[in-house]
Homo-oligomer: A and B are copies of this chain.
Amino acid sequence: MNSHPPPNYEHIDDQMVKMEVNLDDISGEWLGYVMDILFESGANDVFYTPIFMKKNRPGVLLQLLCSKKNINQMKEILLKETTTLGIRYYPLTVHRMERQFIKVQTEWGKVTVKQGLSDGEVFQSSPEYEDCKEIAKRHNIPLKKVYEQVWRALAEH
């Protein structure tokens, strides 16, 4: 992977694009794979929307966000891994919050919490899913219980 994740301080990024492809001749099975490949290759986000296309076709709109310098790399993957004959894109601006990572304690160990700040104030506190999932699996407890303990720890933080 040769992508550079965006920096952690609050900033306005005006070097981003959204790329879009309409697909009506590819299976869902392949699309699950394509999403993984695009993320691994530096897409900032990838997501699918169901769309109604001509001739009664239930199709899929693939959307991805990447920085301008990654356009060609994304195009190459879309060309190789999907069935598309055309790729469209347009620039957009992204306002990203400052991000910081803190650790909170649960009875099963520490969990990372990603926080989103603007002007130095914390607005979001989001327990890291992979940490919580790992605890839930290892201790055979509901994921819900893990999150509840993290929220409690955050409340007392």
- What residues make up the interface of A, taking CB atoms closer than 8 Å to B? 16, 18, 20, 22-36, 39, 45-61, 65, 75, 79-97, 99, 114, 116, 118, 123-124, 126, 129, 133, 136, 142-144, 147-148, 151-152, 155-156
Instruction: Enumerate chain B residues within 8 angstroms of A91, measured Cβ to Cβ.
Output: 90
Q: How far is the CA of A54 from the CA of B28 in the complex (A)?
A: 10
CB-contact partner of A58 in B48, B87, B99, under 8 A: B48
Q: A23–B31 Cα gap in the complex (Å)?
A: 13
Copies in the complex: 6
* Cα(A5)–Cα(B137), bound, Å: 23
With A and B bound together, what is the CA distance between A91 and B127 in angstroms? 33
A142 to B150 Cα, complex, angstroms: 21
